[in-house]
Structure 1
């Protein structure tokens, strides 16, 4: 019998908290001079482009791909902590129970964010602005407000139920710091399963093959230490 993967789903409230944490962790300081837009007067940071937001969200939602990326980075740098981080993820059931698949779209992993952003925008935590010309939007930017920062600080202190997302978002934000959405998209396209997923279909798991690759790299490390 062929096993069919059932895509897990999240609630609008879970999505809103996750996206708020991502924006807060990934936001760049507000550019100078201050924006002429009065609504942005209390903005404290910005995530530029929906592509970057979606690509960061993909790694938060898909621990198997995050671990695979850590292993690819380890192969290049041989930094032991990358192998250790990947092992911690893959040795747990995180790639199975914490995985929320995303669609493959024209620009890579994608999932509609309108509902989550509506929650954040209505509460005054995030402001979205569009760049481009009438009828042709070229870019979305996501501004974290001072109220949004306060909400994140409160989550960190009073909502331990979100500690997993806090830790995971912070890890991904560190790995993606200084990289734009196009660069992150290119890194995610290095994985065959991701790249070969038909447009409009959900990107499948690579947990099994990533655990296999981890075992190979660990064996190389042991052999190298013993030689």
Structure 2
């Protein structure tokens, strides 16, 4: 159930507007309010939600490669100065196309509750794309969870941050971006991707050191 809540919150934050062509002549999609296109994109976004150390490392990447936005450094600091990389970490397996975890159980909960509808494109035995449609009932459930279960708000807030980090990048770009991390790239297939919390914290310390030197 926790997986189902996390995925629902992520789909709610990551969903793009629905195209009328998507829902035409499909009764099950008449109340759709958003869609996450491709399983790869959903998996890549979920990886950052489940691995705060990798997320913080990406925030540091954007900080150093951009205009040194202090907000990015602050977000990474909040994660790495806490126990979040240890307490919130939910590792994923490494497969041929990067981080992967079977989401079928979580998605089946959402589908049976009529909160999310999955649609596949292609033909039997050769699926080329899987899309996840958020129904109005799903969005209503997200609002109810936010109101009634404040402890679960972390999933919504973290999903929002991950979606902002991935803005303007397609599924393939996200996959390539995650492959840049050496620990991710070199993990054997079928093995859980290891933590990089210690290295990310060391990197943060070095950035802080440079800032202090510049201020002297």
Q: State TM-score, norm by structure 2.
A: 0.96
Measure the CA separation in 2 of the matches of 1:126 and 1:168.
20
Q: d(CA) in 2 for partners of 1:166 and 1:48?
A: 19
Shift of 1:170: 1.4
Aligned residues: 214
- Which consecutive residues of structure 1, in runs of 5 or more, have no partner in the other structure? 1-12
Tell me the distance in 2 between the aligned counterparts of 1:65 and 1:20: 21
Measured in 2, the distance between the counterparts of 1:180 and 1:125 equals: 25
Return the offset for 1:181: 1.2
Q: CA RMSD in A?
A: 1.0
**Residue 35 of structure 1, CA deviation:** 2.6
Once residues 35 and 200 of structure 1 are traced to their aligned partners in structure 2, the CA distance between those partners, rounded to angstroms, is 40
Query: Aligned match of 1:197 in 187, 194, 198?
Result: 187
The Cα of 1:225 is off from its aligned counterpart by 2.6
Cα distance in structure 1, aligned partners of 2:211 and 2:111? 48
- SS of alignment partner, residue 119 of structure 1: helix
Structure 2: how far apart are the matches of 1:112 and 1:166? Answer: 21
Residues in 1 aligned to 2:115 and 2:53: alpha-carbon distance in whole angstroms? 30
Structure 2 unaligned segments of length 5 or more: list them: none
SS at match of 2:94: strand
Quote the offset at 1:134 in angstroms.
2.5
- Hey, what does 2:45 align to over in structure 1? 56
Q: Distance in 2 between matches of 1:99 and 1:159?
A: 21
The answer to whether the 8 Å contact 2:38/2:131 transfers is yes
List, as ranges, runs of 4+ consecutive aligned residues in structure 1 with deviation greater than 4 Å: none
Matched, 1:32 2:20: yes
* Matched position secondary structure for 2:20: coil
SS of the aligned residue for 2:99 comes to strand
| Secondary structure at 1:46 match in 2 | strand
CA distance in 1, matches of 2:101, 2:201: 26
Structure 1 residues 179 and 36: alpha-carbon distance in aligned structure 2, compared to 1, 3 A threshold: farther
CA distance in 2, matches of 1:87, 1:199: 31
TM-score (norm 1): 0.92
